[in-house]
Structures are given as structure tokens and as C-alpha cells.
Amino acid sequence: MTSVDWPLRLIPRRDPPLAQRAAITALALLAALAVRAVFLAPNSGVGIAPTFFPALMVVSLYAGPAWGAALLIVQTLLLAFPPSPLLADFDRGFIVLFSVCGAMVVAMASLLRETLIRLNEAHEREREALEDLARAETRLSIAQDAGGVGLWEWDLATGAGTWSSRLYRNLGVDPSQPARLGAVVEAADPRDREAVRANFRKIREQGVAEEMEYRVIWPDGSTRWLLTRGQLVHDAEGRATHAVGVNIDVTAHRRAAEQLRESEQRLRALADRAPCLLWVSAPAGTRESVDEAYVH
């Protein structure tokens, strides 16, 4: 429990019912009188503040400033018109001083009550915001995983990078490794490494972030195709300071395109060997494709 939480146990989040506020006020007054009767001699002129002021604080914190003020009025009347020898016959100056100090106690306790309630509300809003952020990050992570989208960011001055967990998986790099440009080059297929280096140089030297596709070799030896695209972030003076973007696994798309191309090639080979003329016409009547027999 924090230093803010424990006083809030005395302060209800909502104003308690009228009966509860009246009860706590009466109990606080009776407790103050009981403490005075037990520990102080009758007609003693000392101990008024130690016995009455704590009651003012408790009532002001729990029931609110109006009830604290009401209790102060009752206490002042008891001092001015003592019904019992437990309370001495005080002069007017003492009663006025007590009333002024008691009003300050009520005011300070009420201010503390309001401050603690506001702090609690702020903590609740912060907690809700953190929960909303956590849910949003979870949804984003799920969406990234579903789409094979990894996020990256580079500091162009230092070369320091930040990667999402999905980007590590896209590259086939151990998530415990730091995000660095060299790791991307090392993960790239040897046939594409120079193109990857050239793209990084263009970002650093020319401030141009171009879209490109390249292959990476995973630790299991399989090849994956990645599409990267990004944009530059500029400072107030127009200088590029960071590059941010996405890295998408497009292996399935690449394989589908290759399969389609292979199917088209097989269909073309069959059409060229067919003992008849074959062609495809557009709606306007123009020939879009023909077989070899048609040409000859």
C-alpha cells in the first residue's frame, strides 16, 4: 500500500449516506470526550486540542468539510457552556483561539481530503490509460503477427535501432540480439546483401528511404522474402534524424507469383504443341496472345 493509498481508507470514494456521516461525527465527539474523561482530571484546562482536534480531522476526512465545521461548532458550544465537570469553564479568549485553530484544522483536513481524492482519481485514470495502452499493444502485436508485419526504427546519427518482436522473427534473428544494421545484412541472402547495404547508404547519405524486396536466410536454411518500406523523420531544421518503417513477410505472395508464372509457362508450352490455332482476344477484338502455330 502506497503513502497515497492508506489515507484513502478513511475517505470513501463517494459521499457516504447522511446517517453514516452523522454517526461518525457523533462517535468522534464521544471518543474525544471519553479520552478526556479517562486520561485527564475533571475540570482540567489542558488537553483540549489533543482530544478535540483529532476528532475534527477524522470527521473532515471521512464526512467532508461541512460535517467537520458542524462538529467544531458543537465543540465550541461545549467549551462555552460546559454541561459536565469534564470540561473546564474557559474564558472567551481561549474559546475564540480554539475556534480559530479548529477552523484551520478543518480547512487543512478538507484540503488534504480533496487532494487525496484528486490524486486517487489521477492514479485511476493513469491505470486505465496503461490498461488501454496494454490492450492496444496486444491488438497491434496480434495484427502484426497476422500480417507478418515487423516495425523498425533507426537513429541516423548513432545507427541505434529498435525492432518489434515480429521483425526479429521475419529476419530469423535471435530476439536477444541488439537491433543493428549489420544484423540485417548478415541475415540477408548473399545475393541481396549489396542491395541492402546500398539502400542503407542511400538513407544515410541522401535521406531517401526506398521500398525494396530482398531475401533472408533463416537459421534452418529456408529462404524468406521481405518487403521493407519506410519514411524519414525530420527535426525542426529539416534534417533527417530517424528512419521508421515496416518490414513485411511476402514469401507467400512471392511463391504464389512463381507458381502462377510456372503455370503460365506450362500452359504456353502445351499451347505451342497443340495441333490447332489458339489465341486469346480482348473485348475490343485485339489478340492478346497467340500460339506459335497461329504466328506461322
* Segment 195-225, tens digit of pLDDT: 999 988 888 777 777 888 999 999 999 999 9
Q: What pLDDT, on a 0 to 100 scale, did the predictor assign at position 108?
A: 92
Q: How far apart, in whole angstroms, are the C-alpha atoms of residue 134 and residue 140? A: 10
When pLDDT is averaged across residues 233-255 and rounded to a whole number, the result is 85
Q: What pLDDT, on a 0 to 100 scale, did the predictor assign at position 202?
A: 84
The percent of residues above 70 in pLDDT, for the chain, comes to 77
Cβ proximity of 70 and 55 under 8 Å: no
- pLDDT of 45 > 60? The answer is no
- pLDDT of 2 > 70? The answer is no
Burial degree of 199 (CB within 10 A; 0-12, 13-18, 19+) = buried
Q: What pLDDT, on a 0 to 100 scale, did the predictor assign at position 144?
A: 66
The percent of residues above 90 in pLDDT, for the chain, comes to 18
CATH 3.30.450.20 location in the chain: 148-249
- pLDDT of 146 > 80? The answer is no
Instruction: Give the chain's mean pLDDT.
Output: 80
CA distances to 5, 61, 112, 208 from 1, in Å: 6, 19, 18, 52
- pLDDT of 279 > 60? The answer is no
When pLDDT is averaged across residues 131-158 and rounded to a whole number, the result is 78
- pLDDT of 275 > 60? The answer is no
Indicate if the alpha-carbon torsion angle 53, 54, 57, 59 is positive or negative. Answer: negative
Burial degree of 99 (CB within 10 A; 0-12, 13-18, 19+) = middle
When pLDDT is averaged across residues 259-265 and rounded to a whole number, the result is 67
Q: How far apart, in whole angstroms, are the C-alpha atoms of residue 58 and residue 28? A: 7
| Residue 72 or 208, more confident | 72
Q: Residue 131 — pLDDT band, cuts 50, 70, 90?
A: confident
Q: What pLDDT, on a 0 to 100 scale, did the predictor assign at position 105?
A: 93
- pLDDT of 278 > 70? The answer is no
Neighbours of 112 (CB within 10 A): 15
148-249 CATH fold: Beta-Lactamase (3.30.450)
- pLDDT of 185 > 70? The answer is yes
Q: What pLDDT, on a 0 to 100 scale, did the predictor assign at position 237?
A: 85
| Residue 142 or 44, more confident | 142
Q: What pLDDT, on a 0 to 100 scale, did the predictor assign at position 33?
A: 84
- pLDDT of 157 > 70? The answer is yes
The owner of cell 490498461 is: 131
Does the pTM surpass 0.85? The reply is no
- pLDDT of 100 > 90? The answer is yes
